[in-house]
Amino acid sequence: MKRVKSNLWWKGVVLSALLMWMGGAAHAQFLRSSYFMEGSHYRMQLNPALTPSRGFVNIPVLGSLNASVSSSSLGYQDIMDVIDDDGNFYNNPEFLGRLDNNNHVNLSINTDIISAGWFRGRNFWSFNIGLRTDVGVKLTKSMFTFLSEMDQIEDNWRTGNYDISGQELNVNAYTELGVGYARQINDRLTVGGRVKVLLGLGNLDLKFNRVSLNANLPSNAQIQKWQSMTSVDAADIAALKSELESYHADLVLDARLESSFKGLELVETNGYIDDLDFDAGEMGIAGYGFGIDLGASYRLLDNLTVSAAVLDLGFISWSKGSTQIATTGNSGLSVRGSDYTAGIDPNDPAGSLVALQDNLNRFQTEMDNYMNRVSGGDVLDYELLELRKEDVSESRRSRLASTVVLGAEYGFFNNALSVGLLSTTRFVEPKALTELTLSANYRPKNWLNLSMSYSAIQSLGKSFGLGLKLGPVFVGTDYMFLGKNSNSVNAFVGFSVPLGKKRVACCNRM
């Protein structure tokens, strides 16, 4: 069996991370555990109305650095095995047993290169220049079953029937230039918003709309038996022709790749895409967009405050000149044994033997072509798809990964201690991520804030979060890394310099 590792699919994942670090430096641009930490300005990333107690200037790049990865079913080590793709992980029964029918992996890397905020009366102004990257992958269990059985069962390609539709890969990377404004309307209500100009660095979208294979082909032993025939009668020829006509192999393909990256070239070999060629020196702005954040906080009772926000409402329009599109087109296969029966006639046994040899040679060539296509052994195998470039007639557009935030907090002991409940739903590709976070928060001083949180959904209830603000340093995680089986992990680090005096919270206790 052929075993060629193109590994092209995950180059899109690695490329997104490279764009972030080359530009200046999963599934969130924020830290949930910071939401109820009054001394931290990082909670404004979740709700622009949650102003801090004093102004700030973040240390460039390191002032706000966040990285996360999460999976609906796979552990950290499983994800690393998939990315390494050494061909062994999908033969592990324990790995296959952990899979859902649909498995999602989300990666996020974000940093603010420059950001600051300051009070002016009851108004709070802020600005930031940041880099954002989101990666979403959907892999079905049928894909891994297909890889495992094609690898372990000899000649399974001859009789295998599989539907591996539904695989997806989405990458979105851009620079954000934002200006924020928040105002304390009265002693209960605060509202805020942020407008953002977006400079698109790159976007990649791959979808397996339909990919299926169905085959019933003769074994090598059967073909050798036919080739060694020296004498036959009419009945033998009739039976041979009938059996040959029953064989078939069908590869049905409908997949589409859309890429908008300057410096990224889809490399064709033998007429189809088989590699990505990225030239960092050519990297630049591939598109422009716009986004807004809106938020509000309202104190219902002296100790009870509720809040809500909608983040990243917006889009990026990618230029025609930076866009490349490739589709499967007519690259599917249909092999029919009935196409190789010319000259095989029960009324001419001797002539049938001569015709049979030529037909079998051509049939064997088509069978080998089919085998090479379906037995590559790679996740999201481009050799299977044989994507071909198409002409690009217009620009394309992608939406931002919007987030809906709902929060409620109850304070104790003059608001030095509180408990909070936070709901977030982020509409990433290929599937929205919802989280419910319960936290306990201790903030005796502006320079000292502590938070302990528990997020029940994405980590399957198997992790916890921590947040600590100690002077100018902030560190935190929503999902503590607890070993190779952790399926959601993230880390947030921030360094900032305070500006101005501490404001007395007259209008907003969150």
In a domain, 1, yes or no: no
Whether pLDDT at 26 is above 80: no
* Domain that includes residue 319, residue range: 8-499
Under the banding of pLDDT at 50, 70 and 90, the label for residue 437 is very high
In a domain, 75, yes or no: yes
Whether pLDDT at 265 is above 70: yes
Whether pLDDT at 27 is above 60: no
Q: Radius of gyration of the chain from Cα atoms?
A: 29
Question: Phi/psi zone of residue 278: left (φ > 0), alpha (ψ -120 to 50 degrees), beta?
Answer: beta
The predicted pLDDT at position 39 comes to 82
pLDDT in tens, 74-94: 777 777 766 665 556 777 787
pLDDT in tens, 168-215: 988 899 999 999 999 999 989 999 999 999 999 999 999 999 999 999
Q: What is the CATH number of the domain that holds 458?
A: 2.40.160
pLDDT in tens, 337-377: 999 999 989 888 888 888 988 999 999 999 999 988 888 76
Q: Are 8 and 276 in contact (CB under 8 A)?
A: yes
Distance CA 439, CA 444 (A): 16
Q: Are 341 and 353 in contact (CB under 8 A)?
A: no
Question: What is the residue-wise DSSP string for 277-317?
Answer: EE-GGG----EEEEEEEEEEEEESSSSEEEEEEEEEEEEEE
The predicted pLDDT at position 288 comes to 96
In a domain, 76, yes or no: yes
Q: Which residues of 316-346 are buried (b: 16+ CB within 10 A; e: fewer)?
A: bebbeebbbbbbbeebbbebebeebbeebeb
Q: Are 464 and 453 in contact (CB under 8 A)?
A: yes
Q: Are 115 and 127 in contact (CB under 8 A)?
A: yes
pLDDT in tens, 6-16: 445 445 544 44
Q: Helices H, strands E: what count in the chain? A: 8, 23
> Residue type at 169?
L
Distance CA 383, CA 388 (A): 11
Tokens of 136: 């979403």
In a domain, 452, yes or no: yes
Cα distances from 417 to residues 96, 308, 414, 440, in angstroms, run 45, 21, 8, 8
The predicted pLDDT at position 13 comes to 46
Quote the DSSP letter at residue 64.
S
Whether pLDDT at 390 is above 70: yes
Q: Which residues pair with 464 in a beta bridge?
A: none
> Residue type at 388?
R
- Residue 306 has phi, psi (to 5 degrees) of -120, 155
The predicted pLDDT at position 423 comes to 96
Under the banding of pLDDT at 50, 70 and 90, the label for residue 380 is low
Question: pTM of the predicted model, to two decimals?
Answer: 0.84
Greater confidence (239 vs 10) lies with 239
Instruction: Name the E strands within 353-509.
Output: 388-390, 396-399, 403-412, 417-426, 433-445, 448-455, 465-470, 473-477, 488-499
Question: What is the residue-wise DSSP string for 390-434?
Answer: E---S-EEEE---EEEEEEEEEETTTTEEEEEEEEEE--SSS-EE
3-state SS track over 10-28: HHHHHHHHHHHHHHCCCCC
Looking at the chain, the whole-number percentage of residues with pLDDT higher than 70 is 90
Element (H, E) at 93: helix 93-97
The predicted pLDDT at position 3 comes to 37
pLDDT in tens, 440-459: 999 998 889 999 999 888 77
| Domain count for the chain | 1
Distance CA 435, CA 30 (A): 13
Tokens of 183: 């105002």
Q: Are 442 and 463 in contact (CB under 8 A)?
A: no
In a domain, 333, yes or no: yes
Greater confidence (430 vs 110) lies with 110
The predicted pLDDT at position 505 comes to 52
Looking at the chain, the whole-number percentage of residues with pLDDT higher than 90 is 46
Query: Considering Cα of 133, then 312, then 207, then 163, what sign does the dihedral take?
Result: positive
The predicted pLDDT at position 276 comes to 75
The predicted pLDDT at position 29 comes to 59
Q: Are 486 and 465 in contact (CB under 8 A)?
A: no
> Residue type at 269?
T
Under the banding of pLDDT at 50, 70 and 90, the label for residue 72 is confident
Under the banding of pLDDT at 50, 70 and 90, the label for residue 160 is confident
Whether pLDDT at 312 is above 90: yes
